Amino acid sequence: MNKKLIRTSKFLSFVLRHKPDEVGLTLETGGWVHVDALIAAANRAGVNLDHALLREVVATNDKKRFAFSEDGLRIRANQGHSVPIDLGLEPVVPPDVLFHGTAARFLDSIRRHGLQRRNRHHVHLSPDAQTATAVGKRHGKPVVLAVTARRMHDAGFPFYRSQNNVWLTEHVAPAYLIFPGE
């Protein structure tokens, strides 16, 4: 992904996941915003954005962070919001094991408190260790934890799956984590 696409993707993440009000936008139900309103807000904020660039960013984003509505008139972030939003996701039964990528420096805290959503709505889990490794690399020396997701689900904890196949849950207690080498 070239620098312009990366810069635009970061702007979209900022606006659609965290601070829509910084550019004068309000997220609708489900986290949606009208494409034309987003483009106008971006240009007012000094970010050169048009329909073609927006379509390219959505199509080429390696994590598929964004989605257009069926009619193509609205856009939203698929998950990762820190603003109050209900994405309308239905609970689903997870696979036996999911994965979480983190940095080695966080392991002591995770052993004590588990995986916490912090300022987001959910803990993000990956369907495979490779994706989790890529996520962990963003934070330092990567470590991949296995989550006994089906066991959690059977104990009454809900799981959701976003449009881009990221698994979501509110918290993962240490008892449901498998650390490397264990």
Give 22-37 pLDDT, tens digit per residue: 999 999 988 999 999 9
CA distance 71 to 52: 16
CA distance 138 to 167: 18
Report pTM.
0.74
CA distance 29 to 110: 33
Kindly report, residue by residue over 84-139, the tens digit of the pLDDT: 888 888 999 999 999 999 999 999 999 999 999 887 778 999 999 998 998 888 88
| Pair 149, 122: CB distance under 8 Å | no
- The full set of domains in the chain, from first to last, is 3-77 (1.10.10.970), 98-178 (3.20.170.30)
